[in-house]
């Protein structure tokens, strides 16, 4: 009997978590990318593009090593990522970048791809705490 009760409780908990994690119609998505690993970063950007295509407002926050994805100096290394970032911004996604991270890696703000904004508390607040926002991290 304990096995059946345990299985029923597990199923109930799973259905609650699954239903609460599903995005509703056009709920915003906030993606925190922290990596400059090419494959993982491409996954984060592609996932973001797919959700933008489904009409979800998307904000991508590039922090820690992900700031390297956004620099002109890394154009050869991150050619596909630059194309994805540009496409995302052209189609309405907001791309924010951690200024503290930028400084810690010695990157000049002038080296950023056009359209990328340095984050600040107001921009982060508007993106993170908009009602219904879902968040993911890579």
Interatomic CA distance for residues 57 and 45, integer angstroms: 14
Alpha carbons 82 and 18: distance in angstroms, whole number? 33
Instruction: Give residue limits of the domains in the chain.
Output: 26-137
Q: What would be the CATH architecture of the domain defined by 26-137? A: 3-Layer(aba) Sandwich (3.40)
Q: What is the predicted pLDDT for the residue at 25?
A: 79
**pLDDT per residue as tens digits for the range 32-58:** 999 999 999 999 999 999 999 999 999
> Which residues, other chains included, contact 33 with Cβ-Cβ below 8 Å and sequence gap of 6+?
41, 44, 45, 60, 61, 62, 63, 66, 69, 137, 138
- Model confidence pLDDT, tens digit, residues 54-99: 999 999 999 999 999 999 999 999 999 999 999 999 999 999 999 9
Other C-beta atoms lying within 10 Å of the C-beta of residue 109: 12
């Amino acid at each position: 009997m304990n096995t059946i009760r345990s299985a029923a409780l597990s199923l109930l908990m799973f259905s609650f978590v699954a239903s609460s994690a599903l995005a509703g119609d056009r709920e915003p998505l906030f993606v925190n990318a922290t990596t400059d690993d090419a494959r993982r970063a491409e996954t984060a950007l592609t996932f973001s593009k797919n959700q933008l295509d489904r009409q979800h407002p998307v904000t991508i926050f590039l922090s820690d090593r992900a700031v390297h994805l956004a620099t002109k100096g890394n154009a050869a290394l991150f050619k596909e990522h630059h194309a994805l970032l540009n496409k995302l911004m052209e189609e309405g996604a907001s791309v924010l970048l951690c200024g503290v991270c930028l400084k810690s890696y010695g990157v000049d703000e002038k080296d950023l791809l056009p359209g990328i904004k340095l984050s600040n508390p107001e921009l982060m607040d508007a993106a993170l705490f908009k009602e219904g926002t879902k968040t993911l991290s890579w």
